[in-house]
């Protein structure tokens, strides 16, 4: 099984992203963040969601938005893989919240999940784009609560787990450590000594971490890497499991 997680930066640099998706057509699952909708929400994607579904024609796509008119989460999985269930839960705020002056705290944050069968084993993959704070990527009461909600929901799921996305957090934060310790997941960013998940397009601050992949310890990893392709201000994370 091969999986990529990527914050697409709103798919704003179309041609490099298109080439990237074509190059990685062997990947089984894409976890994508900052995807804009142009079709009915919360249903399998049936029409082009520029530019992703125009390229990923051999995949079934599922889209979940947090805010009407805003970007959301999308999971694309090869049509040859049996999907058992797909859905979402809000771990901060609510869907289509009323946004005030501090819009970043009002904006709801959803956790998308998809269950599938692979060679007789049940997997659940979770896709996430975490709360942004103007003060940086440290712990905050809202972020700690967000992690608690993620843990509470994920504990309801059995089988092997893959959790990926843009968490907007540093690896040493309690918000990240909670996911490692309370769910017993391997944090591939720390295990592989990754020092940055950003690309040269990110110039707003010295923060070098945002994106993560967490896996159940029973999943055997064949390969993991931060891909060098510059298709966003975030780097894509790639994992291949036996």
Tens of pLDDT, residue by residue over 72-119, are: 999 999 999 999 999 999 999 999 999 999 888 899 999 999 999 887
**pLDDT exceeds 50 at position 46:** no
**pLDDT exceeds 60 at position 17:** yes
Predicted structure pTM score: 0.94
Within 10 Å of residue 215's Cβ, how many Cβ atoms?
Answer: 23
What is the side-by-side order of every strand in the sheet holding 29-36? 59-65, 71-78, 29-36, 2-7, 237-241, 221-226
Give the pLDDT confidence score for residue 48 in this predicted structure: 36
Q: What whole-number distance in Å separates Cα of residue 155 and Cα of residue 182?
A: 9
% of the chain with per-residue pLDDT over 70? 94
Question: What is the DSSP code (8-state) at residue 182?
Answer: H
Question: What is the DSSP code (8-state) at residue 19?
Answer: H
Q: How many domains does the structure of the chain reveal? A: 1
Tens of pLDDT, residue by residue over 167-225, are: 999 999 999 999 999 999 999 999 999 999 999 999 877 889 999 999 999 999 999 99
Contact in structure between 176 and 151 (CB atoms under 8 Å): no
Residue 161 is part of which domain span? 2-241
**Which pair of structure tokens corresponds to residue 2?**
């091969």
- The alpha helices in the chain, defined as continuous H runs, are 14-23, 52-55, 103-106, 141-154, 174-183, 188-191
Give the pLDDT confidence score for residue 6 in this predicted structure: 98
What separation in angstroms does the CA of 165 have from each of 57, 80, 107, 120, 189? 22, 24, 17, 26, 12
Tens of pLDDT, residue by residue over 109-146, are: 999 999 998 878 899 999 999 999 998 999 999 999 99
What separation in angstroms does the CA of 205 have from each of 39, 75, 121, 239? 34, 29, 42, 27
CATH of the domain at 129: 3.60.10.10
């Amino acid at each position: 099984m091969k999986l990529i997680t990527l914050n697409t930066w709103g798919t704003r640099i179309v041609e490099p992203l298109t080439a990237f998706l074509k190059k990685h057509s062997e990947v089984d699952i894409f976890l994508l963040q900052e995807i804009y909708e142009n079709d009915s929400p919360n249903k399998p994607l049936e029409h082009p969601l520029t530019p992703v579904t125009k390229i990923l024609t051999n995949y079934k796509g599922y889209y979940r938005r947090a805010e009407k008119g805003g970007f959301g989460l999308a999971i694309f999985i090869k049509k040859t893989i049996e999907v058992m269930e797909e859905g979402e839960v809000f771990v901060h705020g609510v869907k289509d919240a009323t946004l005030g002056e501090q819009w970043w705290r009002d904006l709801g944050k959803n956790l998308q999940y998809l269950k599938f069968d692979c060679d007789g084993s049940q997997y659940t993959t979770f896709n996430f784009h975490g709360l942004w704070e103007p003060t940086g990527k440290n712990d905050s009461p809202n972020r700690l609560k967000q992690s608690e909600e993620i843990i509470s929901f994920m504990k309801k799921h059995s089988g092997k787990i893959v959790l990926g996305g843009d968490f907007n957090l540093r690896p040493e934060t309690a918000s990240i450590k909670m996911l490692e310790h309370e769910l017993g997941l391997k944090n591939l960013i720390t295990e592989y000594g990754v020092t940055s998940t950003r690309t040269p397009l990110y110039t707003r601050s010295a923060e070098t971490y945002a994106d993560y992949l967490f896996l159940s310890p029973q999943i055997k990893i064949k390969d993991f890497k931060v891909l060098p392709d510059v298709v966003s201000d975030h780097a894509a994370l790639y994992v291949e499991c036996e």
